[in-house]
Amino acid sequence: ERRQVLVEFNATHQALQQDLLVHQLFEQQAQQQPQALALVCGDERVTYAELNERSNQVAHALLSLGIALDDRVAICVERSVEMVVGLLGILKAGAAYVPLDPGYPPERLRYMLEDSAPVAVLVQRTTRDLLGALAMPVLDLQSVNGRLKPGMIACCRRSRHSTWLM
């Protein structure tokens, strides 16, 4: 029975294209099964199509700020759908993300921002005030949705580019 549960029921192995990055694999899945459930967080359920569209909105917003390949974008959000939307959006824009835990003391967050030198910060309404005054653009993930035209992002990111910075 153990073998059946661990091996037979979990026979989900698939050959993946080695040259595709995580956001590209996600977009493939979104095209293949747009109405399938991609994410559940509390009572919120999001399909692949919705998650793809929302992350494209974030990527477009970042690109409109002039974000370039390998720039760093900080993200200070609670664990939520917005967190996943933001991370995918950053990657689709070609940037690397700098995770900032909103549970850290404000002094630690400010130090991390100074040290990592991001060119923009993604926040939620509940985390914005933790960072104080910033000299870089700040995007509230809850206000980005629906502001820009959705659409695919033609990113030239490659595996040699940074994905995240600690």
pLDDT tens for residues 12-62?
A: 666 666 667 777 888 889 999 999 999 999 999 999 999 999 999 999 999
* Global confidence as pTM: 0.82
pLDDT tens for residues 88-121?
A: 999 999 999 999 999 999 999 999 999 999 999 9
CATH architecture for the domain at 17-144: 3-Layer(aba) Sandwich (3.40)
Q: How far is CA 131 from CA 72, 81, 109, 124, 152, in A?
A: 17, 21, 7, 11, 31
Section 142-161 average pLDDT: 63
For residues 112 and 136, is the Cβ–Cβ distance under 8 A?
no
